[in-house]
């Protein structure tokens, strides 16, 4: 059974497809795979008739992101197929059964950051007569499939016909095998396809198509890149990929920082709504992120403690409780990420990403590393003064250093100042650990009080609290050296 047919056993499934496509003339003879040491048997299957209708927005937004969405009948993997880029020769395929003529909500949701509230409708129909050879290894597993496709495609009034060959790894991820098999196809007269998919050929989108020339201004380039990253992390959050909430939040903060530092270049002001929307979205994601951090932190700490030092239902309160808060935070984040308000934010970011960079020689306020560094120094000075007061004031002051260092890091990275960016990142990471420890201490105190009220042993909470307090102290001890390294990088 292939990965595809196995995937059909549940409602919605994902797997990674590794394949290569080849152009070939109608008269070409299919290659022989005899003599390959890894292939011991070639199994020919009856021909298949496949009929696929492809869906996209009116502006072909999915195709622009190298994504295909189709409803296919015939063959072993009939159903709805959503294919997403996953690196060279690879795509992630999401499959759902044939239960409706309309695009399934679960597939639309995966690409919602791309299509937003624009309609999805048929853009092409592709009919394929497919002849398949399964290449088996010594253990009987299907290493790869060779498909000889005769294709008829229609888009609007236009009809195209062609023949193509495909090689797909099935129960193997051996790229060298794919190379050796591909050489057989090349020897038989095939050539690597100029298109990434059948739909790309119908829409005349070459596989090696490049986007329009990007601006030479580094800040504009960085905003464009972070905008692309935001769409990718959005997709990962929707599938609840580990650490994706954190990475999406980081990307949002990078965007906000760069836009704020370069307000004049993008026609923004301090009170621009897009900056406020980015701030609120990061804060919303922060609920799930903070819970995710605490769940991982407590799970690791409890795993390291001897069993006799874990007294009472500590894991249930700390780890399971944090996981429940993460689930709640994720649901709230996803709810917001399915609203017109979120789509308008993405639209605005697209517009900003394509805002023309100032022409060379145009007078404008430069992105100033010095100004960003001055904020770090000021925050550090205030933190030293606060250290003489209450611990709460000190912790808040240290958190402000972290935020200033973060803005400096993003600005330095966008303008190619690697040493400054690395030094600022060290401070950001150091004080990030400190802030996590502060948040954890407060949470442990609250949970210890709740456990005490319930008549539970609170001994373990005290151990964990001391662990966090020690971590915070170590971070503070390293801060002066990190600030000196930043000063040196700025000199």
Q: pTM for this one?
A: 0.85
Do 394 and 245 fall into the same domain? Answer: no
Mean pLDDT of 220-246: 94
Q: What is the CATH number of the domain that holds 135?
A: 2.40.320.10
Asked whether the predicted pLDDT for residue 2 surpasses 70, the reply is no
**pLDDT tens digits for 190-200?**
999 999 899 99
pLDDT of residue 353: 85
pLDDT of residue 49: 97
**pLDDT tens digits for 38-79?**
899 999 999 999 999 999 999 999 999 999 999 999 988 899
Domain boundary among the residues 154, 181, 202 is at 202
pLDDT of residue 367: 57
Domain boundary among the residues 363, 391, 406 is at 363
Mean pLDDT of 373-389: 85
Report if residue 436 sits inside a domain: yes
pLDDT of residue 210: 53
Report if residue 207 sits inside a domain: no
Report if residue 52 sits inside a domain: yes
**pLDDT tens digits for 21-48?**
999 998 899 999 988 888 999 999 999 9
Q: How far apart are CA 20 and CA 165, in angstroms?
A: 8
Please report the beta strands in 328-483, taking only residues with DSSP state E, as ranges in sequence order: none
Q: How far apart are CA 148 and CA 190, in angstroms?
A: 11
Overall number of domains in the chain: 3
User: What confidence category does residue 256 fall into, taking pLDDT thresholds of 50, 70 and 90?
Assistant: very high
Determine contact, residues 110/46, Cβ cutoff 8 Å: no
Q: How far apart are CA 482 and CA 432, in angstroms?
A: 13
Read out DSSP for 53-76?
Answer: EEEE-TT-HHHHTT-EEEEEESST
Domain boundary among the residues 169, 202, 235 is at 202
pLDDT of residue 253: 93
Report if residue 208 sits inside a domain: no
Q: Mean pLDDT of all residues in the chain? A: 90
Q: How far apart are CA 379 and CA 225, in angstroms?
A: 30
Asked whether the predicted pLDDT for residue 8 surpasses 70, the reply is no
Strand partners, 41: 136
Domain ranges, residue 258: 213-363
User: What confidence category does residue 6 fall into, taking pLDDT thresholds of 50, 70 and 90?
Assistant: very low
Do 187 and 238 fall into the same domain? Answer: no
Nearest to 160 by CA among 210, 111, 217, 198: 198
User: What confidence category does residue 9 fall into, taking pLDDT thresholds of 50, 70 and 90?
Assistant: very low
Do 67 and 154 fall into the same domain? Answer: yes
Write b or e for each residue in 13-42: b if 16 or more Cβ atoms lie within 10 A of its Cβ, otherwise e.
beeebbbbbbbbeeebebbebeebebbeee
Do 259 and 196 fall into the same domain? Answer: no
pLDDT of residue 23: 96
Determine contact, residues 421/409, Cβ cutoff 8 Å: yes
Do 334 and 436 fall into the same domain? Answer: no
Q: What is the CA radius of gyration of the chain?
A: 28
Asked whether the predicted pLDDT for residue 391 surpasses 60, the reply is yes
Q: How far apart are CA 175 and CA 38, in angstroms?
A: 13
User: What confidence category does residue 1 fall into, taking pLDDT thresholds of 50, 70 and 90?
Assistant: very low
**pLDDT tens digits for 178-231?**
999 999 999 999 999 999 899 999 988 665 555 555 667 788 888 999 999 999
Stretch among 320-324, 354-358, 393-397 having the lowest mean pLDDT = 354-358
pLDDT of residue 199: 94
């Amino acid at each position: 059974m292939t990965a595809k047919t196995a995937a059909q056993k549940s409602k919605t499934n994902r797997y990674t497809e590794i394949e290569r496509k080849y152009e070939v003339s109608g008269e070409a003879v299919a290659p022989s795979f005899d003599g390959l040491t890894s292939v011991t048997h070639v199994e020919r299957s009856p021909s298949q008739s496949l009929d696929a209708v492809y869906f996209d927005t009116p502006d072909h937004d999915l195709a622009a992101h190298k994504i295909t969405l189709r409803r296919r009948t015939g063959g072993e993997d009939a159903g709805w197929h959503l294919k997403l880029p996953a690196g060279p020769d690879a795509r992630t395929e999401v499959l759902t059964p044939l239960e409706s003529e309309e695009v399934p909500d679960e597939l639309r949701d995966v690409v919602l950051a791309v299509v937003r509230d624009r309609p999805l409708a048929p853009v092409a129909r592709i009919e394929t007569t497919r002849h398949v050879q399964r290449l088996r290894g010594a253990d009987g597993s299907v290493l790869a499939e060779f498909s000889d496709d005769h294709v008829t495609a229609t888009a609007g009034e236009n009809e195209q016909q062609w023949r193509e060959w495909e090689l797909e790894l099935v129960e193997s991820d051996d790229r060298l095998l794919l190379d050796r098999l591909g050489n057989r196809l090349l020897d038989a007269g095939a050539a690597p396809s100029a298109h990434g998919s059948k739909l790309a050929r119908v829409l005349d989108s070459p596989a090696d198509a490049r986007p329009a020339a990007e601006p030479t201004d580094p800040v504009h380039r960085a905003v464009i890149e972070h905008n692309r990253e935001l769409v990718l992390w959005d997709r990962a959050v929707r599938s609840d990929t580990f650490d994706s909430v954190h990475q999406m939040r980081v990307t949002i903060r990078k965007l906000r920082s760069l836009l704020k530092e370069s307000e004049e270049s993008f026609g923004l002001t301090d009170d621009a709504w897009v900056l406020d929307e980015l701030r609120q979205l990061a804060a919303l994601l922060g609920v799930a992120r903070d819970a995710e951090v605490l769940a991982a932190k407590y799970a690791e700490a409890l795993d390291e403690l001897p069993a006799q030092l874990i007294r009472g239902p500590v894991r249930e309160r700390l780890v399971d409780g944090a996981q429940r808060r993460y689930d709640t935070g994720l649901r709230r984040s996803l709810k917001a990420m399915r609203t017109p308000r979120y789509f308008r934010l993405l639209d605005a970011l697209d517009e900003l990403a394509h805002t023309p960079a100032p022409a060379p020689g145009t007078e404008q306020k430069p992105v100033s590393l010095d100004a960003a560094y001055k904020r770090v120094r000021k925050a550090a000075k205030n933190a030293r003064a606060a250290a003489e007061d209450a611990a709460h004031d000190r912790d808040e002051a240290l958190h402000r250093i972290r935020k200033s260092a973060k803005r400096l890091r993003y600005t330095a990275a966008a303008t190619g100042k690697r040493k400054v960016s690395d030094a600022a990142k060290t401070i950001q990471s150091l004080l990030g650990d400190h802030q996590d420890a502060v948040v954890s201490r407060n949470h442990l105190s609250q949970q210890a009080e709740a456990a005490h009220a319930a008549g539970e042993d609170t001994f373990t909470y005290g151990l964990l609290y001391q662990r966090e307090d020690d971590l915070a102290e170590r971070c503070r001890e390293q801060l002066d050296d990190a600030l000196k390294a930043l000063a040196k990088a700025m000199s």
